[in-house]
Chain A
Amino acid sequence: MIFARSKRNRQTRLPKATPRQPTRPCAPRPMDDRIQVALDVSYTRLLMTGAMLLFAFGAIAVRLVDVSLLQAASEPRAAFAPRGQEMRMDRADVVDRNGNLLATNLSTASLFANPRKVMDPDDTARQLARVLPTLREAEVARQLKTNRSFVWLQRNLTPRQQWQVISLGLPGIDFQSAQTRVYPNGALAAHIMGYVGVDNQGLAGVEERFDATLRDNAAPLQLTIDIRLQHILRGELLRAKTEFNALGATGVIMDARNGDVLAMTSLPDFDPNDGSNARDNQKFNRATLGVYELGSTFKIFTAAMALDYGIVTMRDGYDATDPIRISRFTIRDYHAKRRWLSVPEIFMYSSNIGAAKMAEDVGGEAQREFLGRLGMLRPASIELPEVGTPMVPSPWRPIKTMTISFGHGLAVSPLQLASGVSAMVNGGTVHRSTLIRRETAEPPQGQRIISERTSRDVRRLMRLVVANGTGRKASAAGYVVGGKTGTADKPKRGGYSRRALLSSFVGAFPMTDPRYVVLATLDEPQGNKSTHGYATGGWVAAPVVRRVIERAAPLLGVQPVDEQSPTVKKKLFIKFKREGRQLASF
Chain B
Amino acid sequence: MKGFSLIVWVGIAGLASVALFNITFKVEQIQDELNVLNKQILQEQKAVHVLQAEWSYLSRPERIEALSQRLLPHLQPPTAQQVGNMESLTAAVTAARVTSNPAPTRVQPAAVRGTR
Contacts and interface: CB of A to CB of B under 8 A. Distances in A.
A559 B60 contact: no
A231 B61 CA distance: 6
Contacts of A228: 61
Contact of A104 (B35, B52, B62, B81): B52
Contacts of B53: 101, 104, 106, 182, 184
A77 interface: yes
B62 A186 contact: yes
A122 interface: no
A106 B55 CA distance: 13
Interface stretch (B1-9, B43-51, B97-105, B107-115): B43-51
B31 A107 contact: no
A231 B20 contact: no
A553 B82 CA distance: 13
B77 A551 contact: yes
A554 B77 contact: yes
A73 B60 CA distance: 52
Nearest to B38: A82
A190 interface: no
Given A101-B52, A550-B77, A227 B61 contact: yes
Given A101-B56, A188-B60, A85 B65 contact: no
A186 B60 CA distance: 9
Given A69-B24, A559-B85, A185 B56 contact: yes
A90 to B, nearest CB: 13
Contacts of B52: 101, 104
Contacts of A554: 77-78, 83
Contacts of A104: 49, 52-53, 56
Contacts of B24: 68-69, 73
B61 A82 contact: no
Contacts of A478: 79-81, 83
Main secondary structure of the interface of B (DSSP, over half): helix
Contact of B38 (A85, A107, A231): A85
B interface residue count range (under 10 / 10 to 19 / 20 to 34 / 35 or more) = 20 to 34
Interface in A71-113: 73-74, 77, 80-82, 84-87, 100-101, 104, 106-107
B42 interface: yes
Interface string B54-87: 1011011110010000000000011111010100
A73 B28 contact: yes
A107 to B, nearest CB: 7
A119 B39 CA distance: 36
Nearest to B41: A85
Contacts of B18: none
Contacts of A479: 80
B61 A188 contact: yes
A551 B39 CA distance: 46
B89 to A, nearest CB: 13
B80 A69 contact: no
A73 B31 CA distance: 11
Interface string A186-199: 10100000000000
B10 interface: no
A550 B78 CA distance: 8
A106 B45 CA distance: 12
B1 to A, nearest CB: 26
Given A69-B20, A69-B21, A73-B28, A87 B61 contact: no
Q: Which of A85, A184, A228 has the most CB of B within 10 A?
A: A184
Contacts of B60: 184-186, 188, 227, 231
Contacts of A171: none
A372 interface: no
A231 B65 contact: yes
B15 interface: no
B27 interface: yes
Given A87-B49, A184-B60, A77 B85 contact: no
Given A184-B57, A228-B61, A85 B42 contact: yes
Given A101-B56, A550-B77, A87 B45 contact: yes
A477 interface: yes
Interface in A353-387: none
Contacts of B31: 77
8 contacts: A65-B17, A73-B24, A81-B35, A104-B49, A188-B61, A550-B80, A554-B78, A560-B80
Given A231-B60, A478-B83, 9 more contacts: A81-B35, A85-B38, A87-B46, A185-B60, A228-B61, A553-B80, A559-B83, A560-B80, A560-B81
Interface of A: 65, 68-69, 73-74, 77, 80-82, 84-87, 100-101, 104, 106-107, 182, 184-186, 188, 227-228, 230-231, 235, 476-479, 550-551, 553-554, 559-560
